[in-house]
Structure 1
């Protein structure tokens, strides 16, 4: 079934559209490309490690364009970038290794429940205009955990890192741009780890479609993040984290 779906070139346009939509959301809000893409692939019967490998292979290219766009629009806090990128890469390698050797899905419901609560809190702060900007204190451990869960779960870097930095008071536009830029280095490392473990089996029609759609959408996301009011960004981030986490929690517990 999986081979039939991915061998059909007529499916390419569908995955291009999904990749475009997912990257528009990710570039503007700093999350959800992995969650949207991985959820689709898993719903079509793709094993978790192939789904994560395929999504991260596509993200290697989409995050490169997204990073360039955010840098061009001055959405990056380079000090914050330096504090999250190395721990994120280390966590990503560990997560990819775990996913190719053992079942890492046991902790998924707990992580999703935590993200749901976090999303509701961010949504509340955005709606009530209560976001007070200050320098985040917990950064490196956040990068490590975010990178690990991103690789092991097929997505989640933005949901974990962006949302937690925003809770600590980080500027929404700079946070989104910085996390997206760091994600490029994370996805390159994760993809290389998967390729060493799995070979090229995950590079399918779906991967190509997600890649094409994501590359076209990447510049627009950075433009949106630069121009939208911080409280509005925070509200949308909170709503997106809540909805995607609730859906993932439902799938993890009841399907």
Structure 2
């Protein structure tokens, strides 16, 4: 008799548990009635997650063995605004069905702008770039940098008055105030300020790079006409020669 009584107790407990829980199901749709597939549906009680599932190919979700209580649904889906429903009481009698309509979310578009500082071969830059190396400077045999800049295609060097007068560089007809001049990577002129090349000798210069187009992404808003990057020589031996 005792084993039979134990079995009866287990059956009664299982029946009581089955009567105290229920199934919560529903559909997730858009404003036009279309079913939303793969939406994440979370069952909440007092703001705490109880169960979580995703909608199937018909936009249907199902939670099983849900105890009687007050629950809310939180729904997330790509392309739609997240929504949390008001709490409702879930009874243990029958199936509890809750349908949720999601509003279309705002269109999101990300624009990523990067600027690389690593060295690239001139053939891979995709930009009108002129490089004047030390050998060209020696062959030119001129004391000033401005004479070397006359070799840059599309550039125009203007010197006011006699030799030694203020000198400006115009790249492709752009304003000379919007040339970014760098010496060993450090800006040599203020934003919107012209650079006077008169007093700059070519002694000690390793190379001159002239970018003949705007490049505000990498060099700032004042690089609207072009960029002149001057690199000085560096020692290559431990003992000066």
- Shorter chain as normaliser: what TM range? under 0.3
User: Which of the two has greater helix per residue?
Assistant: 1
Of the two, which has the highest radius of gyration?
A: 2
Larger RCO, structure (CA 8 Å, separation 6 or more):
1
TM-score (normalised: structure 2): 0.24
TM-score (normalised: structure 1): 0.23
User: Which of the two has greater strand per residue?
Assistant: 2
